Structure 1
């Protein structure tokens, strides 16, 4: 358990009213109206017949491109939500991206989520000591945090902060700030609010790099209650076990692959470069290398030891580096639902099954890409449609502009079967899967003892057979001698740390041993 524990008491994800559901029929009408409009900007008096045909073809190409993105997006044809300001049923082909429209959307989603959380938990606004809000593109003055303070009449001494411009990752990365604030303020309650107001981010131009976000991004918001108050710990659902934050912004390629700004015609939009997936994968790989040492099972550590022994001691170049299957050590995955291809790539890299990806795909289908709120919608989906068992590990992954990556590891403190308002219709429709009745304690302890025995056996085999075959003089001649001592020290450190963790009371020592070994 961390020295300064942070507990997640509960969360609430906002479900917009049904009148804001986006129908593909309405979208189709709006796109075709736009094509007619753009095709009639020039008359035959100003353009030749050939040039007019070319302009019409370009307008049709834009529509066809958006259709292709939609078809591969993973979004439902009739389920996600948009505010009236940019909803084709209400605004037609004239989306409103002004500040008043943005403020109306923000207030609806943010205040709806916060109000829902207060009703669910029974807490009052005056019980909140720390408030952190996040929204990337929409950064009003006064801030979104001030809007929440005003709307709910919070205390004058509330520690309120707003995080802007930090992209989709900040629903996960922002937990770092909340945890640090709770560390600085013991016996406090923290309210973390995530939102991406779609109105000012809506793109009115023709640049395909910027049109993608119009198709994927949708309206939503989440409110999360975190605490380190002893009185609330019995009510808490999860404890924050580990948090990792990676920022790749020192690389120009990573820094420039996602940004908000004007196109060649001066129209603002979120630019997505062709190398977004590549740069995001780099950041995610580095983040998982750091978090892996905390979550890998002892059997997986043993597999890594065996692989490294073959590669480093025996010089087996044909042996591939060990790549763990995170589905073997994590029970639930909350992955940023940026798009169907994003989920495909992350699932492949983590070697997890379609069952692990299903909650994130469900969020994408029914709510779209709700930016920093996506992983919280996923957690609500897991609790509503599957349930969580006491002791389950939950891995939360956020990826966003910068490139920034955040990974949080949560541990369930008790069994959780909580049908959230945002997922009630899906639960009632039969999407819910009951938890299996599994007895955990004795089984898990037995597996840990077995893993410890296997690790000890592996170490004994290494010492008995590998070391005598690799005489120091021969190793030095081959140029790998210095690695032997370090590797054996690492093996011993991992096994000692493993024993401490398995038998209780040594979590931090084990983490330090695994970190020093370079296991991941």
Structure 2
């Protein structure tokens, strides 16, 4: 009975309990209000100026400006002051374009590579699954699009408990530092130059956080803007990019790094609940890190944008930076 009650508490099924709350429309933010103020202000100023000046000839306008400066010059100067102020506000408040300078993906060693069949054999050798659970995982794998060259931690096939804080932290440190080391080396950027750090890991959220672990490991500066996103699902990678872009809008002349990963060892489920077996089949070991900057300036020694160079696999890919959508 206790098991059923615990399962009901942990269930992800949406249940309508009759509780309703009014939805309040959010207050418009100045940063998202668009350019409506300029579309309203500028035509009015143009009409006022046209009505004031259009009815006068060139001689009359010259006489009014220089002979009746006590009134008309003040009006003209006030108009130009408002016009200059409006144009200045427009150029100062418009969003800056944000560019993706480069990225890096951590690739584990080949001894951690498993095919779909090897994964099923690892799960069987752990002794934690019955044949029905193994058959279910095999069906999910065959329909998931997962290839035969994915990576899993060593602890997956061990008979002991894999989903521990120690194993999760060890895996996270391995993949995060591997991706960031490659990114910093590729871009020739020092960790102390990074002003914004966003880390996204949905299920593994230790204390201290993963972002704090990165700041401490690389000895980043003390005023870095550090964010750790958790429990937000697979779409949090895009949310992390959006957050970093917004932070760079307010803190220019900075680099931003966005790190996305999932700790497979910590999310490993050794049981028979089918809904909880699905993450075992979909999540794999790895990490990605991207570098963002408000200006498309390339690090020293890099080739210009839209050029091409061969990568280690012999394929050719377009060079970065790439403009991040929504950045202006």
State the TM-score, normalizing by the size of structure 1. Answer: 0.40
1:128 aligns with 2:194: yes
Is residue 262–residue 287 contact of structure 2 (8 Å, CA) maintained in 1?
yes
Q: 1:518 matched to which residue of 2?
A: none
Is residue 7–residue 236 contact of structure 1 (8 Å, CA) maintained in 2?
no
State the alpha-carbon separation in 2 of the partners of residues 180 and 434 from structure 1.
28
Q: 2:151 matched to which residue of 1?
A: 81
Q: Please, which runs of 5 or more residues in structure 1 have no aligned partner?
A: 39-58, 238-412, 436-507, 512-520
State the alpha-carbon separation in 2 of the partners of residues 71 and 162 from structure 1.
33
Structure 1 residues 433 and 114: CA distance shift in structure 2, 3 A: closer
After superposition, the CA RMSD in angstroms is: 3.0
- Matched residue of 1:8: which SS? strand
Q: 1:185 matched to which residue of 2?
A: 251
Q: 1:447 matched to which residue of 2?
A: none
Displacement after TM superposition at 1:28 (Å)? 3.5
- Matched residue of 1:200: which SS? helix
Q: Pick 1 or 2: higher relative contact order, CA cutoff 8 A, min separation 6.
A: 2
Q: 2:6 matched to which residue of 1?
A: none
Is residue 16–residue 220 contact of structure 1 (8 Å, CA) maintained in 2?
yes
Write out per-residue CA displacement over residues 357-390 of structure 1, whole angstroms, 9 at most, x where no aligned residue. Answer: xxxxxxxxxxxxxxxxxxxxxxxxxxxxxxxxxx
Counterpart pick for 1:228 among 272, 294, 297: 294
1:68 aligns with 2:102: no
State the alpha-carbon separation in 1 of the partners of residues 209 and 245 from structure 2.
21
State the TM-score, normalizing by the size of structure 2. Answer: 0.62
Counterpart pick for 1:9 among 101, 111, 118: 101
- Matched residue of 1:199: which SS? helix
State the alpha-carbon separation in 2 of the partners of residues 189 and 433 from structure 1.
26
Is residue 130–residue 188 contact of structure 1 (8 Å, CA) maintained in 2?
yes
Structure 1 residues 236 and 7: CA distance shift in structure 2, 3 A: farther
Relative to total residues, which structure has the larger helix share, 1 or 2? 1
Displacement after TM superposition at 1:72 (Å)? 1.8
Structure 1 residues 201 and 419: CA distance shift in structure 2, 3 A: farther
Q: Please, which runs of 5 or more residues in structure 2 have no aligned partner?
A: 1-93, 319-325
Is residue 201–residue 262 contact of structure 2 (8 Å, CA) maintained in 1?
yes
Write out per-residue CA displacement over residues 48-76 of structure 1, whole angstroms, 9 at most, x where no aligned residue. Answer: xxxxxxxxxxx322222111112222222
Displacement after TM superposition at 1:23 (Å)? 3.6
Q: Which of these two proteins has the greater Rg computed from alpha carbons? A: 2
Is residue 164–residue 266 contact of structure 2 (8 Å, CA) maintained in 1?
yes
1:147 aligns with 2:213: yes
- Matched residue of 1:116: which SS? helix
State the alpha-carbon separation in 2 of the partners of residues 68 and 7 from structure 1.
41
